[in-house]
Amino acid sequence: MWYADIEVNINEKNPASEKVIQDTVEAEIRSFLNAGADLESAIGISKDPLRPVVDSLVIAEVLVQIEPLVKCRLPESIIKKGGYHSIDEVVSHLVPQVMVIWNGHQE
């Protein structure tokens, strides 16, 4: 993962580390979901207008990818039931929740 080369100490709670974590979490979500767009039916990403674009089960996999970055367990309860209608919706919903959990583990 590209964030391994980041110079900011992400284990310390400060504005720089918080911004790095937030940007990295967003990039990781987008990367995972964009990579899966070519395999839409295999990973639960749909272009069918009657179904969510991103299934909630896929987001559970995204959380597993993000956990090593934030160094804490991310509960599935932060996932919106029924899925998401765009990658932007995933980002705008999950990133703030992940940051609240990360901040709570920094205290």
| pLDDT tens per residue, range 91-105 | 999 999 999 999 888
Distance CA 34, CA 39 (A): 10
Q: Work out the pLDDT band at 28, boundaries 50, 70, 90.
A: very high
Token pair 């998401």 is found at 84
Task: Please give the structure tokens belonging to residue 18.
Answer: 């918080």
pLDDT at 3: 47
CB-CB contact of 25 with 69 (8 Å): yes
Residue corresponding to tokens 């992940």: 98
Task: Please write the tens of the pLDDT for every residue from 33-88.
Answer: 887 655 554 455 556 665 667 888 889 999 999 999 999 999 999 999 888 888 89
Q: Cα dihedral angle (102, 78, 22, 4), rounded to 10 degrees?
A: 70
H or E segment to which residue 107 belongs: none
CB count in 10 Å sphere of residue 63:
18
